[in-house]
Structure 1
Amino acid sequence: MSKITIDNQINDQQVEIIEKYDKEQKTRSFDKASLAKGVYWAAVIISLYHFITSFVGAPATLKHRSLHVSMILFLSFIFYPINDKASRKKLPLYDGIFAVLSLGITLYVWIDYPNIIARAGLINTMDMIVGTILVVLVLEASRRISGLPLTLLAMAFIGYALYGRNIPGIFSHRGYDWASLVNQFFISTDGIYGTSVGVASSYIFLFILFGEVMNKSGMGKFFNDIALALAGGSMGGPAKVAVIASGFLGSINGSAIANVVTTGAFTIPLMKRTGYSKEFSGAVEATASVGGQLLPPIMGAAAFIMAEMVGIKYSMIIVYAAIPAILYYLGIIIQVHLRASKSNLVGLPKEELPRVKDVMRERGHLLIPILFLLGMLFFSGKTVVFSAFCSIIVTVITSMFKESTRMSVKDIIDALAGGAKGTVSVAMACAIVGIIIAVTSITGFGLNMANAIIQLGGTSILATLVFAMITCMILGMGLPSIPAYLITATIAAPALVKLGIPVVAAHLFVFYFAMFANLTPPVALAAFAAAGLSGGDPMKTGVASVKLALAGFIIPYMFVFNNELLLLDTTWTIALRVTITSIIGVMMIGTAIEGYLLREIPLVLRVASFIGALLLITANFFQDIGGFAILAILILQQVLKKKKGNMRTHSSY
């Protein structure tokens, strides 16, 4: 019997689902060979610029960021049609003009750079014209790539900056004219060319390119096959495979919806085959794919921005995020296992599964680049950008060890082109969010919003956290993960910091809930994409996703009240104790949701189990005792019920 393996190649149906739920993937595919080849090589050149400057050093900040944004704008108007009805095979003249105008902006910055610096924020007529064109192009490119919500939000903030003096109450400000805004958006490094674009032009671009190179070497297939080999034969195996494979892949590629469709196209039918419902199968894939951006070492792209905003090393973000991410995935796996136990869902036949030693022999060497990257980040003392540069080269070299993973020259060039194309949506989101952040900063909106959240919460930190969570999830609805995090980090995180919550914990808190907006109805894009594959009801899949991710909704509260989970200012002894009690707490959440441990659990004990879980996730020793007492009662009830059941079975004979 042939072995089961996961093919990472996507078919037309998968492409259709990705494009339906992820507007960022809906790009042109030119029918004219010369045009397609020209765009391909333009993307290769853009990647080479970022790759080379990561080694030799980038030009002056404003020059480098303006060039990066112009190149991204150029690709935006080349790849993304004006609307869904426009041709995706041809490039209309107006988009060609927009693309040329995009490059003209950086040309102006480079030529007039000495005068821009000399004017020190005093803009002239030409600055006004070019800056206005830049703002319009960024808004239009964002509309095409991410859809209307983010663009309308940016326009609302521009309107607020212009007319906020007419707003009564705490959100009123002195007002700004268009010249002041253009100055902020265009010729400073606090607007469109701000921190988020700085991160996109360095860390994010390099790591997306790293992901493309790893994908070309066959890393995706390795993750899928090792997940099959490790978990495929266990109880409810296909669901566990989906969790493990989607977690690893999501950490590297950072796209929840693309991850749902590529991995889910294989794992969802396997889950249904072993007895999971359509909605539960889709929910497993959705929750695992969204969580990839919470999982070190790569964490999609938001971790790089977080490191810059918080002002700490990226390697430390990896350390702080590790235990909460493991708890999140553990919570999913526990529910998956309990559901399989309750329904007696067996795993896949062993003879159909690849063997661990065979997978490691064939592709295990592909782990070398990841280990090398971690070594560079933690022990080399080199920059993150240089570490990514070296890791890309190591990946190419490592791929040569086996014929099955060996990259050809075309594979390497394709990875360069794919890296540039894959960065467009992220970098464009960073550019438009620069407008929102600039307005938030100069008008004092962020500080006022933080005060409003604190006032709503009163003196209760818990109430303030709840209001911050609601704010994050509303702002995150329908937005890509990067702008969702950037906006919530600008608006909600300062409120938590003002309450004395460590800045890292505050940013991770808003990051979690910005990500979970992809799972929660009514706008649950990852869950809806999974339902498109499973054939399940989209809303029911969304509800099932929330249940599966429930531990993830509680974990941010855990590390806010339990900084030891982030390994902040603690000893290893205390951190280990808190981690163990948190793991048990996550297990009790799973039993409460599924209503099952060794046997069915009565409703009263399900509620008690949930309460016990909440007691165990705090660092308070006496509350831990209460949680363990409830756990003991639960286990005793289950053991006695099991014995009673066995006695009845025995007496029936």
Structure 2
Amino acid sequence: MDAERTREPAFGVPAHLWKPIAAALAAAITLAAMAWSLDVPRMMGVSYYPQQFLAIILALTLPLTFMLYRPNRERRLDETLPWYDIACAILSLGACAYIAINYASVVNFVFTRPVEAWLPGVILLILLLEGLRRSTGWVLVVIMVVFLLYAMFGNIIPGRLAGRPQDWQKLAGYMAYDVNGIFGLSLSVGATIVVAFIFFGALLQTTGGARFFTDAALLSMGRYRGGSMKIAVAASGLFGSISGSAVANVVATGVVTIPMIKRDRYPAHKAGAIEAVASTGGQLMPPVMGAAAFLMAEFLQVPYSDVALAALVPALLYYGALFIQADLEAAKLGIKSAPEDQIPSGRTIVGGLHFLIAFGLLIYALFSMNWLPERAAFLACASVVATAAVFGYDGMRASLRQLLMTVVDTGEAVVEIVVISAAAGIVIGVMNITGLSFNLTYALVQLGGGSAIVLLLMSAVVCIILGMGLPTLAVYVLLASLVAPALVEVGLHPMAAHLFVLYFGMMSMITPPIALASFAAASIAKADPIKTGIASCKFGWIAFVIPFMFAYSPSLLLIGDTGEVTWAVITATFGMWLVSAALAGYFANRLSMQMRIIFAVAGLLALIPAGAFPGAIYTDAVGLVIGVPAMIFAYVNGRKTVQQAAT
């Protein structure tokens, strides 16, 4: 341990005193979110503004950033808490508590700039930015500061992007009290829905549910060629749909799957890449998607079930392409099934089927009963606890202490997301108070010349650049505010526009030069990060293509008549298979360069939705006419080669 870590501060609180306080704050975050979701305060006759609840959540969360993270962003372990972090924790608690208590009496007078509005606002903004820096780094902080500076000096920006300048007192009060500020939509989602689903995932980890899904992937895929890679795709997809975090998914499942893939003589950078892509896609897989999907439902003012249904076919195409490439790469390299001793018995898996009850209840509550997502998630949590207590899994039963610790662990796990969600309110607030939202939409449409394809290409590049190094939730908030309105303005369906920016923002997780999921996987695989990132882009190619497809034809989002949707899904699946085979260079046998080109061209033509433009149905037809004979020829030729080799 270096000198910086071992040096004790001149004054502070020892670990045995501050750690129980931190645990109590973390547990209170989870319990407060649960109480809000289940409407407990109103049952008790307590009436309040939603912003007061959000202020309480931030009053619990922000102090934790100064307790759990050192100024150098490292996680604080069993050491003395310095006096300056104590001061920051107390100030942040005090500022948020003051807003929560006095919100009703101050909110209507914010624009008169009373000291009761701007003083706690200034304290909150400064400490929120510092908490954001400690938990996520400098990138988001710089972005937030740029937005705040624009709010105060936007009038000096030339052209259409000029904004209405705001004095610092009005701006601070607005951010602290207005519903479009810090205690607005993004924090509401982070403090309720995200907490509920992270608690759900944590309970599955504690009770053995996560292990059950990994074992189920092993049992179902392990006996087939390239079983280790298919296990990675299946396990990461299942776990990722619960966790909603690409990097967390890589770390949780990659420590098992990546060494398994490498043992099958698969190159280290490709082993890391397939895990990174599979983990990243979990944020797109219904019924439980990442936090951004819930925020999308709020932005679009539609039920979450609508977002989940729209995302279903693109997510299945995403994992279908990844699964096919894994299978064909395994065939090309001669990778066999997983060792028998690593495959669990069917009896073991049957013992964990009760975990599926929780998902059944979740889907039923969301889609049939139209429950709020957070309430449906807590119903699933109750199911996990109840069934795990009765049946357990493979001799494992969580103790009461472990369940209680899960409440604490959830609170600590959501600190980063809640802080990001609060900071995202700064972006939304600035967009509203300065008129930047309208100005930027107009400027982007003008820059694109009113052309949808030019604007889509520009938006894709902007999305990937803005997404570099940022968590998906933060990326989506930025893009939904900055880019999506311009896409809607040129005629895109609102659902397609928001899913477009979500896809490209998410793909920054695997796109070099900054690819957090790929780099995390490379670290586990002990591979070159850039090579892993490039291989990730190859495996995840479909995610760069699908957004353009549903942007031009929302039929892939299950929007439109049944015939059009069915045709779009069939041709897209066929096209995805052809392009995946071309990239893998294998179909029943190795493909020559000429055959790879034919497969790729036919696949891309088939991928174009029939509703993309007048006459687009003919591109599908041409793709089928070229692709089907090419597949038959490759299959027959491959069989002959195998037979000749056998004789």
SS at match of 2:177: coil
Aligned to 2:619: 623
- What is the CA distance between 1:243 and its match in structure 2? 0.7
Aligned to 2:45: none
* 1:121–1:187 contact (8 Å) kept in structure 2: no
Candidates 403, 408, 413, aligned match of 1:412: 403
- Which string of whole-angstrom CA distances, capped at 9 and with x for unpartnered residues, describes residues 102-161 of structure 1? 121233224323421442643302322111001001110000001000000000111111
* TM superposition score normalised by structure 2: 0.92
Query: 1 CA distance for matches of 2:627 and 2:508?
Result: 32
Aligned to 1:77: 66
Query: 2 CA distance for matches of 1:100 and 1:546?
Result: 45
- Which string of whole-angstrom CA distances, capped at 9 and with x for unpartnered residues, describes residues 168-207 of structure 1? 1221123221122113211111111111011112211222
Candidates 387, 400, 417, aligned match of 2:376: 387
Query: 2 CA distance for matches of 1:352 and 1:647?
Result: 32
Aligned to 1:243: 233
More off after superposition, 54-63 vs 425-434 = 54-63
Mapped pair 1:96 → 2:86: yes
More off after superposition, 635-644 vs 461-470 = 635-644
SS at match of 2:512: coil
- The answer for unaligned runs of 5 or more in structure 2 is 1-12, 42-47, 611-615
Aligned to 1:16: none
- What is the CA distance between 1:378 and its match in structure 2? 1.2
Query: 2 CA distance for matches of 1:585 and 1:462?
Result: 21
Query: 2 CA distance for matches of 1:436 and 1:213?
Result: 33
* 2:215–2:349 contact (8 Å) kept in structure 1: no
- What is the CA distance between 1:56 and its match in structure 2? 2.7
Aligned to 1:9: none
* 2:579–2:599 contact (8 Å) kept in structure 1: yes
Letter in 1 for 2:72: N
- Note the 1:335-346 alignment, pairs <5 A: 335-346=325-336
Aligned to 1:41: 24
Aligned to 1:230: 220
Query: 2 CA distance for matches of 1:642 and 1:105?
Result: 70
- What is the CA distance between 1:97 and its match in structure 2? 1.3
Candidates 617, 627, 634, aligned match of 2:630: 634
* 1:363–1:405 contact (8 Å) kept in structure 2: no
- Note the 1:17-32 alignment, pairs <5 A: 32=15
Distance 1:307 1:648, change over 3 A: same
Aligned to 1:588: 578
* 2:258–2:524 contact (8 Å) kept in structure 1: yes
SS at match of 1:347: coil
Aligned to 1:25: none
Query: 2 CA distance for matches of 1:483 and 1:260?
Result: 19
- Which string of whole-angstrom CA distances, capped at 9 and with x for unpartnered residues, describes residues 296-321 of structure 1? 11112111111111110011211111
Mapped pair 1:599 → 2:599: no
- The answer for unaligned runs of 5 or more in structure 1 is 1-29
Mapped pair 1:53 → 2:36: yes
Distance 1:373 1:646, change over 3 A: closer
Query: 2 CA distance for matches of 1:134 and 1:475?
Result: 25
- Note the 1:23-422 alignment, pairs <5 A: 32-57=15-40, 59-84=48-73, 88=77, 89-119=79-109, 121-355=111-345, 357-403=346-392, 404-422=395-413
Mapped pair 1:521 → 2:512: yes
- What is the CA distance between 1:361 and its match in structure 2? 2.0
More off after superposition, 611-620 vs 127-136 = 611-620
Query: 1 CA distance for matches of 2:189 and 2:636?
Result: 58
Query: 2 CA distance for matches of 1:286 and 1:280?
Result: 10
Query: 2 CA distance for matches of 1:291 and 1:284?
Result: 11
Candidates 487, 490, 506, aligned match of 2:481: 490
* 1:456–1:467 contact (8 Å) kept in structure 2: no
Query: 1 CA distance for matches of 2:643 and 2:126?
Result: 76
Aligned to 2:466: 475
* 1:453–1:468 contact (8 Å) kept in structure 2: no
Aligned to 2:10: none
Aligned to 2:613: none
- What is the CA distance between 1:351 and its match in structure 2? 4.9
- Which string of whole-angstrom CA distances, capped at 9 and with x for unpartnered residues, describes residues 53-101 of structure 1? 2223563122111111221112111111111579642211111111111
Mapped pair 1:608 → 2:598: yes
* 1:121–1:188 contact (8 Å) kept in structure 2: no
Query: 2 CA distance for matches of 1:255 and 1:208?
Result: 10
- What is the CA distance between 1:31 and its match in structure 2? 7.4
Aligned to 1:551: 542
More off after superposition, 112-121 vs 437-446 = 112-121
Letter in 2 for 1:169: G
Distance 1:155 1:644, change over 3 A: same
Letter in 2 for 1:440: M
- What is the CA distance between 1:628 and its match in structure 2? 0.6
Letter in 2 for 1:33: H
Query: 1 CA distance for matches of 2:438 and 2:367?
Result: 35
- Note the 1:437-452 alignment, pairs <5 A: 437-452=428-443
* 2:226–2:330 contact (8 Å) kept in structure 1: yes
Aligned residues with identical type, % of pairs? 35
Query: 2 CA distance for matches of 1:649 and 1:589?
Result: 27
SS at match of 1:170: helix
Distance 1:94 1:252, change over 3 A: same
Candidates 541, 552, 574, aligned match of 2:564: 574
Letter in 2 for 1:623: T
* 1:481–1:514 contact (8 Å) kept in structure 2: yes
Query: 2 CA distance for matches of 1:280 and 1:349?
Result: 20
More off after superposition, 307-316 vs 110-119 = 110-119
* 2:106–2:116 contact (8 Å) kept in structure 1: no
Distance 1:55 1:647, change over 3 A: closer
Aligned to 2:8: none
SS at match of 1:522: coil
Query: 1 CA distance for matches of 2:635 and 2:200?
Result: 51
SS at match of 1:475: helix
* 1:250–1:259 contact (8 Å) kept in structure 2: yes
- Note the 1:445-460 alignment, pairs <5 A: 445-460=436-451
- What is the CA distance between 1:556 and its match in structure 2? 1.1
- Which string of whole-angstrom CA distances, capped at 9 and with x for unpartnered residues, describes residues 518-572 of structure 1? 100000111111111112111111000000000111111122223111111322x
- Which string of whole-angstrom CA distances, capped at 9 and with x for unpartnered residues, describes residues 32-70 of structure 1? 333322321232223222212222356312211111122
Distance 1:316 1:81, change over 3 A: same
SS at match of 2:112: coil
SS at match of 1:354: coil
Aligned to 1:536: 527
Query: 1 CA distance for matches of 2:429 and 2:197?
Result: 26
More off after superposition, 412-421 vs 385-394 = 385-394
Query: 1 CA distance for matches of 2:350 and 2:595?
Result: 47
Letter in 2 for 1:436: V
- Which string of whole-angstrom CA distances, capped at 9 and with x for unpartnered residues, describes residues 577-614 of structure 1? 22121111111111121122122223233233222222
More off after superposition, 581-590 vs 639-648 = 639-648
- Which string of whole-angstrom CA distances, capped at 9 and with x for unpartnered residues, describes residues 431-461 of structure 1? 1111112112222323333333333333432
SS at match of 2:559: coil
